[in-house]
Structure 1
Amino acid sequence: MYLPGPTTPADDHPGYQVTRSVRSGTLTLHLGGEIEWRDMPALRTLLCQAGQAQDRFEVIDLTGLEFADSAFLHLLLDVQRHQRTHGIPMRLAGPLQPIVDRLFTLTGADAYFDFHPRHLPSRP
Structure 2
Amino acid sequence: MWARGQLDWDRGQDFADRLEAALRAGAGTVVVNVSGLEFVDSSVLNTLLAAHGRQRAAGGALVLEGPLLPTVEGFFGITGVLGYFTFADASGTDGGQAAADPAGDGVR
The interval holding the TM-score normalised by the smaller chain is 0.7 to 0.9
Q: Structure 2 counterpart of 1:74, which letter?
A: N
Structure 1 outlier segments of 4+, above 3 Å: 54-57
Aligned to 1:30: 2
Aligned partner of residue 111 in structure 1, secondary structure: coil
Aligned to 2:59: 87
For residue 59 of structure 1, the aligned residue among 31, 53, 77 is 31
User: Is the 2:3–2:33 contact (alpha carbons within 8 Å) kept by the matching residues of 1?
Assistant: yes
Please list the CA deviations of residues 31-70 of structure 1 after superposition, one character each: whole Å capped at 9, or x if unmatched. 1111001233332221111112265652211101111111
Identity, in percent, stands at 33
Which protein, 1 or 2, shows the higher relative CO under an 8 Å CA cutoff with sep ≥ 6? 2
Question: Once superposed, what is the RMSD of the aligned Cα atoms?
Answer: 2.1
Q: Matched residue pairs, number? A: 91
Give unmatched runs, 5+ long, in structure 2: 92-108
CA distance in 2, matches of 1:65, 1:59: 14
Structure number, greater radius of gyration: 1
Please list the CA deviations of residues 9-41 of structure 1 after superposition, one character each: whole Å capped at 9, or x if unmatched. xxxxxxxxxxxxxxxxxxxx2111110012333
Aligned to 1:15: none
Aligned to 1:49: 21
Q: Which one has the bigger strand percentage? A: 1
With normalisation by structure 2, the TM-score equals 0.72
Closer, same or farther: CA 112–54 of 1 in aligned 2, 3 Å: closer
With normalisation by structure 1, the TM-score equals 0.64
Give unmatched runs, 5+ long, in structure 1: 1-28, 120-124
Aligned to 1:22: none
Mapping for residues 105-124 of structure 1, pairs under 5 Å = 105-116=77-88
